[in-house]
A = this chain, B = another copy of it.
Amino acid sequence: MRGETTRRRDASHTRQLLLDTARHHFARYGFSTTTVRDIADGAGVNVALINRYFASKEGLFEACLSSAVTDLRRETDSAPANEIAAKMAQRIAGSADDPRHHETMLLLVRSSGDERTDAMRRALLTSISTRLASAVQSSPEPPGDAALLRAQLLIGALLGASLMRTSIAVPPLATANEAQISDALEVLVKALLPPG
């Protein structure tokens, strides 16, 4: 029935399965709305395994956010500063391809109420906005508050676009294709981060 490459019991595999399902639920419905049974059932896995692998529901959420932070950091650290916004915009515009990219963005607006997890999210957003603000000026000095504020408004705009597109689901934004959204987002990026 089953191939010889798939084991019936694989801890790291089910752990990853839980992580993927959890990110999907947390991103779409928020922390307290989703129950551990929702996640376990979605993954086709026993509820107790959540506590075994992640200690608690909170731990699972932190693991989700942590992997999201890692994803975004890898993408934004390797890219030249002036492309960061474009890469994030691409995550929102894309719909047909891997929904993981989209959920990663949505996860950033979800909170479990835990202070440590909130600090993690805040640190990521601060880091990215600082890099964004640095991109608009030629001098290597740290950006001023005015530039920082615009960069953070840009990130907020991208997160808000994510919400409007999937969570609130207002057409035509919810149903627009990738090219249409990219065009509109480009206008937004250029306005808040003028080159030079």
Taking chain A's interface residues, is the majority helix, strand, or loop, or is none over half, making it mixed? helix
Note all chain B residues with C-beta closer than 8 A to A121: 168
Is A3 part of the binding interface, using a Cβ–Cβ cutoff of 8 Å? no
Note all chain B residues with C-beta closer than 8 A to A172: 145, 148-149, 152
Q: Are B188 and A149 in contact (CB under 8 A)?
A: no
A152 to B166, CA, bound (A): 13
Note all chain B residues with C-beta closer than 8 A to A168: 108-109, 111, 118, 121-122, 125
Q: Are A153 and B122 in contact (CB under 8 A)?
A: no
Q: Are A184 and B188 in contact (CB under 8 A)?
A: no
Chain copies in complex: 2
Given contacts A113-B33, A188-B191, A192-B187, contact A153 B149 (CB under 8 A): no
Q: CB within 8 Å of B: which of A15-30?
A: 29-30
A172 to B146, CA, bound (A): 9
Given contacts A125-B164, A168-B125, A176-B145, contact A153 B185 (CB under 8 A): yes
A160 to B192, CA, bound (A): 14
Is A157 part of the binding interface, using a Cβ–Cβ cutoff of 8 Å? yes
Q: Are A184 and B125 in contact (CB under 8 A)?
A: no
Q: Are A30 and B32 in contact (CB under 8 A)?
A: yes
Given contacts A125-B170, A173-B152, A176-B145, contact A157 B109 (CB under 8 A): no
Q: Are A156 and B157 in contact (CB under 8 A)?
A: yes
Given contacts A33-B113, A156-B173, A188-B188, 10 further A-B contacts (CB under 8 A): A109-B109, A118-B168, A126-B171, A148-B172, A150-B184, A152-B170, A153-B164, A153-B184, A157-B160, A191-B191
9 closest A-B pairs (Cβ-Cβ)? A160-B160, A191-B191, A157-B157, A156-B160, A156-B164, A152-B173, A32-B32, A156-B161, A159-B160
Enumerate 6 A-B pairs (CB-CB under 8 Å) in ascending A order. Answer: A29-B113, A109-B109, A152-B173, A153-B173, A155-B164, A187-B192
